[in-house]
Amino acid sequence: MLHSSIHQLIGFSAPVCRRHLSSVTAHIHGSQVSSLADSLIEVDKADRVIGPVPKLDSHLAGAIQSGIIHRAFSVFLFSRDTSSLLIQKRSPHKIVFPREWANTCCSHPLYTESEMENADGNQIGIKRAATKRLNDELGIQNFPVSNLSFKEKILYSQLSPGGTFGESECDYILVGSIDRASHRVVPHSDEVEEIAWIEPGPAGDRTRSLRAYLGEQKARGFPPTPWFDLMVREKECLELWWSKLIENPDAFLAAEDVNEGIIRNFLRE
């Protein structure tokens, strides 16, 4: 059953909304349809849980424009040997930002006890969801949750090209290191079209090589997603995380954000 509050926000009665959504989902690739009924975690701007919300409903433009927010996570994986960042070009089948470049992995925890668990502030539920998604998208098997470090939460929203879908999220930032010899990256084509390992730039400008690569890709018609572009442009985001990882990887990955009250706000008001 579709989320009734979304029907009201979008302005359709339930039967009309179902017909409208049927016409929308008819154009979605089969590989993406099965997850559209997944129950995501709807939250307010303080990341307080409101309840479950179907994935499809939460990504519709009407819900986003009405301020519906769901939890998400963004993983930034760096190679243990060279501190290179693993990035991906999203599959052409994705309902938001197809064929655009993004960080290692972005997705959502589900409204389940396992993926909402946060014993002692360790965000174990989010990390479980992230390691599952690393396998689903990139074929990275058995990646330990202990290899992921929770850094902060960021509020963000953006409509996807076409205006039907978009994102409105409280995004948990997870940073980790990966031994490329132990964990092979084998992208699943329904989720990921291409991957690249980007070496860090010099001290004080760690994202230099990444910006150059993304500029070349944009000229070919494959830009970064708005989210990834924001993470690259903001000096207190990827530039800072990458720098700290290189300066002292063990200390940086061991230190996790325990201040639940601070959430960076990049919402489009």
At 72, the amino acid letter reads A
Residue 16 lies inside a defined structural domain of this protein: no
Active site residue 169: yes
Domain carrying residue 88 = 37-266
Which residue among the candidates 17, 106, 170, 237 is catalytic per the annotation? Answer: 106
64 torsion bin: left (phi>0), alpha (psi -120 to 50), beta (else): alpha
What's the pLDDT at 59? 87
Q: Is residue 20 part of a domain?
A: no
Identify the band that residue 28 occupies on the pLDDT scale cut at 50, 70 and 90: low
Query: Considering the domain boundaries, does residue 11 fall inside one?
Result: no
pLDDT tens column, 103-117: 999 999 999 999 999
At residue 23, the 3 state secondary structure works out as helix
Query: Considering the domain boundaries, does residue 171 fall inside one?
Result: yes
Q: Averaged over 226-243, what is the pLDDT? A: 97
The 10s digit of each residue's pLDDT in 174-203 is 999 999 988 999 999 999 999 999 999 999
Is 106 annotated in the active site? Answer: yes
Question: What is the pLDDT, as a whole number, of residue 17?
Answer: 41
- Determine the residue type at 206: R
What pLDDT score does 160 carry?
A: 83
CATH value at residue 103: 3.90.79.10
- Overall size of the chain counted in residues: 269
Helix (H) or strand (E) holding 171: strand 166-178
Residue closest to 67 by CA, chosen among 202, 194, 219, 170: 170
Q: Is residue 222 included in any domain, yes or no?
A: yes
Q: Which of 42, 169, 191, 193 is catalytic?
A: 169
Average pLDDT over residues 76-96: 95
Split into its structural domains, the chain has a count of 1
- Beta-strand pair 69-79/166-178: parallel
R_g (Cα) of the chain, nearest Å: 18
Q: Output the pLDDT for position 218.
A: 98
Whether residue 142 is contained in a domain is answered as: yes
Average pLDDT taken over every residue of the chain: 87
Query: Looking at residue 198, what is its pLDDT?
Result: 98
Alpha carbon of 178 to those of 35, 39, 67, 69: distances in Å?
27, 30, 36, 31
